[in-house]
Amino acid sequence: MASKILWAIIGGFLIGVFVRSIFLLSWPFAAFLLLLSPVAFSCTYLDTSKWQRLAVLSVALIACAAGIFRMEAAGLQGTPELTSHIGETVTIEGRIVDEPDVRDGNVRLHVDVGGIGVLVTAPPHTEVRYGDIIRAKGELGVPEKFDTTLGRQFDYPMYLAKEGIIYTLRFAVIERIGGGERNFLKSSAIWAKQKYLEGLHAVLPEPESGLAGGITVGDKRGVGKEYSDIFITVGLVHIVVLSGYNITLVMNGVGILLSRASRVVQLGISALIVVFIVLVAGAAPSAVRAGAMALLPLIARMTGRVYLALRALGVVALTMVLWNPLILAFDPGFQLSVLATLGLVSFSPIFSTWLGWIPERFALREIAASTLGTQAAVLPLLLYQNGLLSLVALPANLLALIAVPWAMGLSFFSALAGILFGSWATFIAFPAYLLLAYIIKVGELFAALPFAALSIPAFSAWWLLPIYAILFGAVVVLQRKLPIDTRPVQTN
């Protein structure tokens, strides 16, 4: 019963947030749901045999109303002073609240101007950093939705709104006028990341250094657009960003190093490492979700509690959406991250039983099952977002992922050598270079194959509802046929 109540809270709240994100429901609708809740519960006196179902329904209605209220409270509003100057050249002053997003043609800055977020686009090589107080002069505007090259529309205003950004300032001229307040942990993580990347660039050429930065610290620039497109085509892009897979590999290595330490020491150091990794990655929702999912099993193991992966995923998603409800419907990274984890937990055991012909050596069967599980879960959403269906994802992942753990470890030591000895340590990084070059070559070879990927025409988002209903319905049926010890409800 307790499990059902928990899922009623999680499901009801997420549904309420999602529905309010799509439809402009006002508070009277949420109040109506609250009134329905005691009505549903009172029906238990009419039919006591169904009291559990009605109690769960009552809780779900309350949670759904709470989700609507939470989303209603998350609305962002601009200021009349700025809104009245849309389209004009203005000068603003504010503090940079995040790491500058350095791109090929510009530098993007998230600037807080009196509690209002402004996305400032500055020229390349603008020398500013997190926490600086700047004066920026440029054209004030608001973000607008735009059509992608594949005929799909991207809700850019709401994508920025989840970060608290309402306005844009284009073609800005930047002047640093002082240093502002900085969060020590965040500032330290950014500094460490920059030093780490400098170490990589000192001993590894591009695109290998970019790939090393992506798989170890989630560097946004990664391998660049050309190789990012290649990895998307062959279904390998998940290794370039900081995912649960990457963090799990790191935590496994930490666990080996700390195997003789006390439980308190293991948990404390592991928690600090996870928090630091998430901060280094910019605390993106997908990184936060990955970090939390990596930390929860450690906490369960240290405290002797049972760890249920699906329940942990639900609690993490609920907590994150409660903190920032805009990520549920408007953050593709968060959506893909949650679905990938759901596929890994729910679908992979099914595929593992079907892939008995694949040897377990080098974890090939595990890689294949994990790849198919995550791909099955994220595929409908990916097809809606970018319309690209990779036909070579399974063999590409089988060949590439066996090298990723070693590439991560060797990249880390290469970066340290680069920090200490500069380009003189190039020979130390040679093993890492070989593995990174191998992963890139796997991507290039499969992307060059005829029909490596198919382009799917744009379709309505409403098709995702029946598709996922059928997909997860089939999973529930298939899970019942699995051996008990392989079902995802077991401890992890």
Taking only the tens place, the pLDDT of each residue in 420-434 is 998 899 999 999 999
Which one has a higher pLDDT value, 147 or 199? 199
Q: Please check whether residue 83 is in contact with residue 116, taking contact to mean a CB–CB distance below 8 angstroms.
A: no
Q: What is the pLDDT of residue 201?
A: 94
Q: Please check whether residue 187 is in contact with residue 131, taking contact to mean a CB–CB distance below 8 angstroms.
A: yes
Three-state DSSP state, 166:
strand
Q: What is the pLDDT of residue 292?
A: 78
Reported as a pLDDT band with limits 50, 70 and 90, residue 246 is low
**Nearest partner of 425 among 436, 410, 440, 437, judged by Cα:** 410
Task: State which residues form the domain around 259.
Answer: 190-486
The predicted model gives 280-307 an average pLDDT of 70
Residue where a domain stops, chosen among 148, 181, 214:
181
Q: Report the predicted TM-score, pTM, of the whole model to 2 decimal places.
A: 0.83
Domain membership flag for residue 159: yes
Residue where a domain stops, chosen among 22, 51, 73:
73
Domain membership flag for residue 491: no
Q: Please check whether residue 365 is in contact with residue 411, taking contact to mean a CB–CB distance below 8 angstroms.
A: no
Query: Hey, which residues does 135 pair with through a beta bridge?
Result: 93, 175
Are 19 and 93 contained in the same domain?
Answer: no
What does the alpha-carbon distance between residue 208 and residue 407 come to, in Å, rounded to a whole number? 10
Domain membership flag for residue 394: yes
Q: Please check whether residue 382 is in contact with residue 339, taking contact to mean a CB–CB distance below 8 angstroms.
A: no
Does 259 have pLDDT greater than 70?
A: yes
Which one has a higher pLDDT value, 250 or 393? 393
Are 259 and 175 contained in the same domain?
Answer: no
Q: What is the pLDDT of residue 70?
A: 92
**What DSSP character marks residue 260?**
T
The predicted model gives 303-329 an average pLDDT of 84
Q: Which residue in the block uniquely carries the two structure tokens 């010890």? A: 485
Q: Retrieve residue 112's tokens.
A: 């807080």
Q: What is the pLDDT of residue 34?
A: 80
Does 491 have pLDDT greater than 50?
A: no
Q: What is the pLDDT of residue 118?
A: 95
Q: How many domains does the chain have?
A: 3
Which one has a higher pLDDT value, 168 or 154? 168
Are 459 and 337 contained in the same domain?
Answer: yes
Over residues 289-302, the pLDDT tens digits come to 777 777 777 666 66
Are 63 and 88 contained in the same domain?
Answer: no
Are 283 and 356 contained in the same domain?
Answer: yes
Residue where a domain stops, chosen among 140, 157, 181:
181
The predicted model gives 151-172 an average pLDDT of 88
Are 55 and 201 contained in the same domain?
Answer: no
Are 62 and 85 contained in the same domain?
Answer: no
What does the alpha-carbon distance between residue 463 and residue 273 come to, in Å, rounded to a whole number? 40
The predicted model gives 242-250 an average pLDDT of 67
The predicted model gives 108-126 an average pLDDT of 92
Does 260 have pLDDT greater than 90?
A: no
Does 227 have pLDDT greater than 90?
A: no
Residue 356: how many CA atoms within 13 Å on its side-chain side?
2
Are 258 and 285 contained in the same domain?
Answer: yes
